[in-house]
Every structure is written in C-alpha cells, then in structure tokens.
Amino acid sequence: MTVLLLPLAFLLDLLFGDPQWFLHPVRLVGKLASSTESLFRGISFLPLRMAGALTAAAVITATVVTVLALVVAAFLLHPLAGVVVSVLLLYFAIAPRDLYDHASAVRDALRAGDLELARRKVAMMVGRDTSTLDEEGVARAAVESVAENTSDGVTAPLFYGLLFGPAGAWLYKASNTLDSMFGYRNERYREFGWASARFDDFMNYLPSRLTVLAVAGAAFILRLDPAGVFRSVKLGATLHESPNAGYPEAAFAGALGVTLGGERSYGGVTKTVPTLGLREGAMDATTITGAMRLMYVASVLFMACGAGLLFILSKSLQS
C-alpha cells in the first residue's frame, strides 16, 4: 500500500509545498515536546538524563500511537478515507519543496546582486552567523543546508515511510523534532537532550548512508561526478562532528565539485569544521541551483528504488 501512497504524497509536496499553518503536525509534536519537557523537568528527584529520556519516549510513543489511531479510524470509516489520511500524513512528513523554496530564495537574491537579502534568506536555513558572509559563504551555507536536509527532511522520512507507512514516517519526524529542540551541547540540554540526540543518530544511521547511493545515481543522471561522490565520502564523511550528516554533505560536495565546511561563526564565536569535498570549486548562485536539482533527483531515485525493492520483495514472498 505505502509503495503507492508515497509517490502521491511526494506529488502533493511538489505541487503545494509544506503548508505553513499552526496545526501542522510538526508544530503539534513540538508543542507536545515542550509541555512534556516541563512536566519531567518538574520532577525534582529525576536525573536530567533520565528526565530527557522519558520525555523522548513519551513524545515518540504519543506521536506514533496518534498516527496509528488516525489511520485505523479512517480505514474503519471508509477505505478511501484511510487512503486520504495516510497520504496526507506522509505528505506532512516530507519537505523537498520547502527545502527547494528556501534555497531558491537565497539563489535568486544572489542572482539579483542583493547580498544583504541573500544573507537574511540563508539565515532561515542555517544556525550560523550570516551577517558577514560574502557571496561564496552564502552559497556554501545554502548548499550545506540542502545537502544535510536532503537526508533529514526527505530521504529519511521516505525510508521509514516505505518500511512502516505513516507511523514509521512520524516515528522519524518525532525523533528529528526532538533532536532539533533538545539536541544541543549547552548547559541546559547537554544531559536532558542526550537521549533525543542519540536516538536521532540511530534513526539517521541507515538513511544517511543510503542517501549517498541516491546522490551518486542523481549525479550520474545530471552528468556531474558520481565517482567523486564516493571518493569524497570515503575521505571526509567521518570527519564531521555528526555521525551521519557528513555522509550527505560529503556526497553533495563530491558530486558538485566543491568543498563544504571550513570556518564559520556561531554567536560571534569562530569555529573551524573539517572540510568535505575533493576540490575547491567556486561557489555562487549556480552551485545552489545544482544542489537543488541534485536534491530532487536523488529524492525521486531514493523513493523509486525503495518502492521497487519493496514491491519485488512482496511479490517474492507471495509466490
């Protein structure tokens, strides 16, 4: 069933993008996480790491149970209602169009020669300081965001959606939302967010590495550098501070013939991260366009290959 539903959800995203309304399920998961954090932090005898683990478990469980209940109730009402609800839940879980729109806003500002606007637009995609970035720095930040979020925002929810349907996609989205809220290495969240960060690392382990294969396939189709994808990943993926983000970022760097990483600033504090890629190609608006195309083609390949494999497996099990 999901093999047919995911392409419909993907098509909805291409047509309408991620709806910006207050009842979006991701926002609801975020509100639940905030409320649950307050609840467990208020239990004075709980160590922070335990409180954080209980928060993560409660939010993830509540999300998955709610999605399952919605799907079951819809199918009991009518099979068509079940299909519609399932497609909508999968649609809300992926965001390639939203990623494309954010990147295109940065690209268009650079094309227009409006560096200040490009800095403001890329600040919506990354957490680093952007006010002093030059054109190449803005382009690099946008490409890095597209690369990392190709896995986080598209292929990972597709992976779990293919395996477990809407509940699987939202198991991942809940995990990813918790990490984005609590997975910081600061005084407030170093202990409390430990479980959320580790579970998100676990959930992203396979999708991030499978995304490399999709990026290589997309690079071949787009006549980029598929061999460079694998060389770049082999040389640099494990240098990234995240156990997973280095894989899609290194893959994009290799395909596009650029380097990612290097020096950046957070809250006025300069930080140098490992450089990913094989060669220092110039980066500008055109590079962002290349990353956007690579994201879309890799996402479609990932979904098509995954759906094809599941279809073949289901047929072989039936025979």
Which of 17, 100, 152 is closest to 297 using CA atoms? 100
Q: What is the pLDDT of residues 206-236, one digit of tens each?
A: 999 999 999 999 999 999 999 999 999 999 9
pTM above 0.75, yes or no: yes
In contact, 40 and 55? CB cutoff 8 Å: yes
Distance CA 128, CA 122 (A): 10
Residue 267 Cα distances to 128, 242, 271, 294, angstroms: 7, 20, 10, 31
What pLDDT is stored for residue 287 in this prediction? 97
**CA dihedral angle for residue 20, residue 26, residue 28, residue 30, rounded to 10 degrees:** -120
Distance CA 160, CA 176 (A): 12
Block residue for tokens 């992203």 = 204
In contact, 245 and 201? CB cutoff 8 Å: no
Which tokens hold the place of 118? 């490009």
Q: What is the pLDDT of residues 132-175, one digit of tens each?
A: 999 999 999 999 999 999 999 999 999 999 999 999 999 999 99
Structural domain boundaries in the chain: 2-318
Q: What is the pLDDT of residues 1-53, one digit of tens each?
A: 677 899 999 999 999 988 877 678 999 999 999 999 999 999 988 999 999 99
Distance CA 208, CA 156 (A): 7
Rg (CA), the chain: 20
What pLDDT is stored for residue 1 in this prediction? 66
